[in-house]
Structure 1
């Protein structure tokens, strides 16, 4: 098999793994966007971050659109609406229960309303379910990727984490996604060492652009990820370490912060390092998490060292007890001999 053919196969595989939305399109491409932060960007549509009413959702349904490249995107529609209190479609419920378990309690009830609907099931399913291909290698990376997209489409307060940048006939083309630095960095680090067929995920151009793993960063990773042509819309990540005042919870980065001329609450759900185990799952394998390998080696060294110390201590104790026994016998013999000598003399 030639190098070009192998490269093509690997590229297609990663297209499937990450963000394959249009199943008829099998090649990934970048739209040329390399902006990692969009403060000051010219926007065709401006949506105030925090709404004054309870219509906190910005997206719903699917709007067909043809962009300049000729690809037919199944983009979400720009529809401001109230979050849904429950999920009535069984298939959509199963999708969310399987891939977005942080939305539910132990009984399977929603912990909060959601902005996504069953009409978006196909797009969301194609976007997040294929990530399971790397689950065996690194559950932490998979869990973080799913949470990233689940929260994007479904969190009940989209107006606090998203800004609509551009639309065509209600179809959303570009958005800003405000994310906490902690979540972004943890997500990136959890996937940094993942390998597929021996190749690093981050070395693929459509995963971190031209930077490859050696020069990739969380900003470059998420910017490239949000620019792949198979996405239903282009995501411009806005990574911030600003923290406002207020309550904090799943998907809630604390209080409101001022970004892009509006007020936002950065998405900051719990993310897992590659050496950490997500709920009901395992940590990443050693081959896909260098820190896991290092910690395993360190633990083995410490265990071996402790065992060596225990053996040494046992040997010392045995030697001490053995010497003590010999000394006791020696003194007993001396005493007996002395008694016999005295008795013989007298």
Structure 2
């Protein structure tokens, strides 16, 4: 899996995540919420993942997006176990059939889960307390992205066929919208909790920005991810085939 993200990683590692001075997390660690494993609220510095096995999982899923797996990050070993399991489900459906789709999708989720600069592009909206163990978990966040990444992510995946009778992949990943999926509807489903028909452990509002936004005196920046087009090769990531990318035909 790691080979799919190498090219994007090379571009992102030095531009986005290489410097962590002054960076903060808004969440870190795994907390149970209503029977679902979610993220613990955490207002603090990124921490080094001390388990080699966990770092290996990170490298397998996110490659070198984070400069190196030994740097301080906003995720821990427990989260990475869950993260790996979720990605395996997407892979079974056919996420890897189009390398660009896989690269862009992984970048979206690797960033929100582990980036050492979460507080730059994530705004914590709501938390809740688990009455059994008294842990505070994340209930809702705003995730700031550029329109170019949102549209590029969707465009790279919209033609990807699943491994199930070649049905479009997004028919399975866009909830009730299925064949009527759009970029906004897809992100809306990805960010919805089970009570709203989704699978996310907490509500994620994907907000598109073209410039910084100031909220209550805090400046937020859209995550500067550059999507890979499905018909282009980048480094060791090859262009998608015509079957999974109309632009490649």
Sort the TM-score into its range (normalised by shorter chain): 0.7 to 0.9
Q: Which residue of 1 aligns with 2:174?
A: 207
Q: Matched residue of 1:142: which SS?
A: helix
Distance 2:213 2:24 in 1: 17
Q: Which residue, 87, 93, 105 being the options, matches 1:145?
A: 105
Distance 1:136 1:159 in 2: 30
TM-score for both structures, normalised by structure 2: 0.77
Q: How does 1:242-257 map to 2 (within 5 A)?
A: 242-243=210-211, 256-257=212-213
Q: Which residue, 143, 157, 161 being the options, matches 1:195?
A: 161
Q: How does 1:217-236 map to 2 (within 5 A)?
A: 217-227=182-192, 229=194, 230-236=199-205
CA RMSD of aligned residues (A): 2.4
Q: Matched residue of 1:61: which SS?
A: strand
CA change 1:259–1:128 in 2 (3 A) is: farther
State the Cα distance separating 1:277 from its structure 2 match. Answer: 2.9
Distance 1:181 1:259 in 2: 20
Q: Which residue of 2 aligns with 1:87?
A: 49
Q: 2:151 aligned with 1:185, yes or no?
A: yes
State the Cα distance separating 1:142 from its structure 2 match. Answer: 1.0
Runs of 4+ in 1 over 6 A off after TM superposition: none
Would the aligned equivalents of 1:180 and 1:239 in 2 still touch at CA under 8 Å?
yes
Cα deviation, 1:272-329, whole Å, max 9, x if unaligned, reads 1111235423222211111111xxxxxxxxxxxxxxxxxxxxxxxxxxxxxxxxxxxx
State the Cα distance separating 1:201 from its structure 2 match. Answer: 2.6
Q: Which residue of 1 aligns with 2:39?
A: 76
Distance 2:71 2:216 in 1: 27
Would the aligned equivalents of 1:57 and 1:81 in 2 still touch at CA under 8 Å?
yes
State the Cα distance separating 1:220 from its structure 2 match. Answer: 1.5
Distance 1:148 1:195 in 2: 20
Would the aligned equivalents of 1:115 and 1:154 in 2 still touch at CA under 8 Å?
yes
State the Cα distance separating 1:136 from its structure 2 match. Answer: 4.4
Distance 1:191 1:55 in 2: 32
Q: 2:82 aligned with 1:123, yes or no?
A: yes
Q: Which residue, 139, 142, 148 being the options, matches 1:173?
A: 139
Q: Which runs of 5+ in 2 are unaligned?
A: 1-20, 130-135
TM-score for both structures, normalised by structure 1: 0.57
Q: Matched residue of 1:200: which SS?
A: coil
State the Cα distance separating 1:221 from its structure 2 match. Answer: 1.3
Q: How many residues align?
A: 216
Q: 2:3 aligned with 1:62, yes or no?
A: no
Q: Which runs of 5+ in 1 are unaligned?
A: 1-52, 67-71, 244-255, 294-346
Q: How does 1:291-306 map to 2 (within 5 A)?
A: 291-293=247-249
Would the aligned equivalents of 1:77 and 1:172 in 2 still touch at CA under 8 Å?
yes
